[in-house]
Amino acid sequence: MIDIRLEEMTRRFGRTVALDDISLDFPAGSFTSLLGPSGCGKTTLLRLVAGFEPPDGGRVMFDGETIADPSSQVPPERRGVGVVFQSYALWPHMDVEGNVAYALTARGVARSERGRRVRDVLATVGLDGYGTRRIEELSGGQRQRVALARCLIAESKIILFDEPLANLDMHLRAAMVEVFRGIHRRTGATMIYVTHDQAEALALSDRIAVMDGGRILQIAPPTEIYGSPVHEKVAGFVGRSTILEGELVGTSGGLAMLEVAGHRFAARTTDTARRGRACVLLRPEGLKLAAEGMQARVISSIYRGPVHEVRLQISGSDHSVVLDCVDAPPVGCMMHVAVTDAWVVPAP
Ligand SMILES: Nc1ncnc2c1ncn2[C@@H]1O[C@H](COP(=O)(O)OP(=O)(O)OP(=O)(O)O)[C@@H](O)[C@H]1O
Ligand SMILES: [Mg+2]
């Protein structure tokens, strides 16, 4: 198992700062997902770890040993890192088996052993019996799974994934999520996983790192990223959310008391001494329609199965909130929204 450490790592392309002074530790055997908007630097980070890009500043360390800094870099083939990138980079002239077995052939693994391992790994990714197909005879999703198999067979101690499931349908994605969990459990490899799918990140990882503009906004376990985001952008990026502005007016039993549109409720906070204006995060499951609460008008209702997603405009505020109801109230009617859980977004 290998510990990956990034220290003050910076990467520029002309005037674009793709990675801006990132310091981050990926403990040995951890599974970290990288989430963030397009262009925030996720692929660049992976490329630096794999060795396809040099850092302009800072260093990459494996188990305490510097393997890349601006003056010298260990080449990719000597890092022992497995990668599955957005583009699959398969060899079109070889069949599936040839592509998947490549790492073993290069290492001189005997033919019979190779054959067995290729069959095993193809079964793992759901491509049983596809060994002799040519790459151009495969669909996009099948090619993606070949790329995955090719990476898995090498049994690397570090595996980097850049949206490895992007071309798969929902069912296959769900099945592959289970495959990843199994591989991680079995191999104990240190894994970094880039995805646009936050549900996937929440389901798969020990930790999620949310990036924006070449920086890390927060790195924490999924429950913390979802429930206690340190930044409005993190809150907005993961899960359904509403951020309201309110007034911190006091404390009660370790919770902050907030006033929003004339209504008071308690919210979790890191700083009970804070007073004045603050942003509060409301998730659908922390809200309910009740006899008392913020006055609000139903403005839309969408059936999501098994519940209706209901949006309500809060009276005396520009904001609307979203919650889930089994029985949807009619659009236009006035209701009360009670807050059962809320989070005060820490001051920047
Ligand atoms: N080879 C390159 N030359 C110039 N600019 C680049 C290069 N590679 C990346 N960039 C720029 O660096 C920034 C980060 O790019 P990167 O590919 O890491 O983003 P990303 O988070 O992976 O985005 P996406 O989710 O769209 O894949 C972007 O502004 C991009 O345009
Ligand atoms: Mg990318």
pTM of the model: 0.88
Decide if pLDDT at 295 tops 90. Answer: yes
Considering the domain architecture, whether residues 194 and 247 belong to the same structural domain is answered as: no
For ligand 1, say whether the CB of 214 is within 6 Å of any of its atoms: no
Q: What is the pLDDT of residues 104-122, one digit of tens each?
A: 888 888 999 999 999 999 9
Number of domains in the chain: 2
Q: What is the pLDDT of residues 259-271, one digit of tens each?
A: 998 899 999 999 9
164 CA → ligand 2 middle, Å? 11
Considering the domain architecture, whether residues 212 and 252 belong to the same structural domain is answered as: no
pLDDT at site 166: 79
For ligand 1, say whether the CB of 43 is within 6 Å of any of its atoms: yes
Considering the domain architecture, whether residues 18 and 161 belong to the same structural domain is answered as: yes
Considering the domain architecture, whether residues 259 and 229 belong to the same structural domain is answered as: no
Confidence class for position 50, pLDDT limits 50, 70, 90: very high
| Residue ranges making up the domain that contains 314 | 240-344
Closest C-alpha to ligand 1, atom 11 = 18
Considering the domain architecture, whether residues 27 and 131 belong to the same structural domain is answered as: yes
Q: Which of 212, 233, 254 is the last residue of a domain?
A: 233
Q: How far is CA 239 from CA 201, 208, 280, 324, in A?
A: 11, 13, 15, 13
Decide if pLDDT at 304 tops 80. Answer: yes
Considering the domain architecture, whether residues 21 and 109 belong to the same structural domain is answered as: yes
94 Cβ partners below 8 Å, 6+ apart? 102, 134, 135
Lowest model confidence (mean pLDDT) among 94-103, 145-154, 168-177, 293-302: 168-177
Q: How far is CA 95 from CA 4, 87, 90, 135, 199, in A?
A: 34, 18, 10, 6, 34
The burial of 7, by beta-carbon neighbours within 10 Å (0-12 exposed, 13-18 middle, 19 or more buried), is given as middle
Considering the domain architecture, whether residues 36 and 138 belong to the same structural domain is answered as: yes
Considering the domain architecture, whether residues 87 and 221 belong to the same structural domain is answered as: yes
Q: Where are the beta strands (DSSP E) in 291-345?
A: 294-303, 308-314, 320-325, 334-339, 343-344
pLDDT at site 168: 78
Considering the domain architecture, whether residues 30 and 178 belong to the same structural domain is answered as: yes
Decide if pLDDT at 87 tops 80. Answer: no
Q: What is the pLDDT of residues 1-11, one digit of tens each?
A: 899 999 999 99
pLDDT at site 62: 97
Considering the domain architecture, whether residues 60 and 165 belong to the same structural domain is answered as: yes
Place of tokens 């499931």: 165
